[in-house]
Chains A and B, each alone.
Chain A
Amino acid sequence: MSEALTFNYKIDGDDFTRAGEASSSVKNKLKQLGLDSDIIRKVAIAMYEGEINMVIHADGGSITVTVSDSDITMVLADHGPGIPDIEKAMQEGYSTARPEVRSLGFGAGMGLPNMKKYTDEMHIDTVIGQGTTITMKVHI
């Protein structure tokens, strides 16, 4: 593969039952490309956490995944409320999720720490009241 492949997804913000469809699609595409299963799992977990976060906190957004010879880059962009304190948000167990989100099995304050744990690079750009863009990279 000499030219990078790009996949774009729009994430619906009001349908929790469909959250994860984009991550599932990316996982399938990476499998078809014959990538190593450990790398695919890392990408799938990190993207799924991000996708769930978008639905829980930001009323959806968009995800762009680019696959090159050297890495897989995920850019998750939303127009949500922004993250007031990134340092706090990166702490395991810190969560601002609503109680009903917890009853669905999420909001334990593991999302962002997990995204960092499963990727080789992660960068968060956030502006209060405007939105958040998270860029993650997994090396191949």
Chain B
Amino acid sequence: MTIREMQEVLDARFLYGEELADLDVQFVFSADMMSDVLAYGSKCSVLITGLCNPQVVRTAEMLDIVCIIFVRGKMPDENMLALAVGKGIAVLATDHYMFTTCGMLYEHGLRGGA
């Protein structure tokens, strides 16, 4: 599934990195604790989270994650988006809750990393 397809399925807004829209992704990790993302998400290329602070982008950067999806209408500010610049990270935001977001993507063939 591409990042563009995820955006369409989730009715999400593209906040940054639209040039990465055609990247194909397969494995997803979802959590609000970045500690858990760092511990268990290293095989995943998509992060779904409701946490909204700069360390979300930093965590994604360390793990080579290519797409962050903010759920529950969370909206990263300009400083957070600036951290994604030049890192090859696309940023999406959807109003769906985390469970619904995960379910919709699972239905479309995406899987967790473990």
Contacts and interface: CB of A to CB of B under 8 A. Distances in A.
Interface stretch (A106-114, A121-129, A130-138): A106-114
Interface of B, helix, strand, loop or mixed by DSSP? helix
A49 B32 CA distance: 16
A23 B53 CA distance: 17
Given A24-B61, A41-B64, A17 B35 contact: no
Interface string B53-87: 11110110111100000000000000100000000
Contacts, number: 69
A27 B60 CA distance: 13
A114 B64 contact: no
A27 B51 CA distance: 24
B53 A17 contact: yes
A37 B45 CA distance: 14
A27 B62 contact: yes
A20 B34 CA distance: 13
B114 interface: no
B36 A108 contact: yes
Interface string B22-55: 0000000000111110110010000000010111
Contacts of B34: 105-106
A74 interface: no
B62 A111 contact: no
Given A24-B61, A48-B62, A108-B35, 4 more contacts: A17-B79, A23-B62, A92-B39, A108-B33
A44 B62 contact: yes
A7 interface: no
By size class, the interface of chain A is 20 to 34
Q: Which of B42, B56, B62, B64 counts the most A-chain CB atoms under 10 A from its CB? A: B62
Contact of A45 (B32, B38, B79): B38
Interface in A2-54: 16-17, 19-20, 23-24, 27, 37, 41, 44-45, 48-49, 52
A104 interface: yes
Nearest to B32: A105
B53 A111 contact: no
A124 B96 CA distance: 43
A44 to B, nearest CB: 4
A136 B51 CA distance: 29
A114 B58 contact: no
Contact of A109 (B35, B42, B51, B53): B35
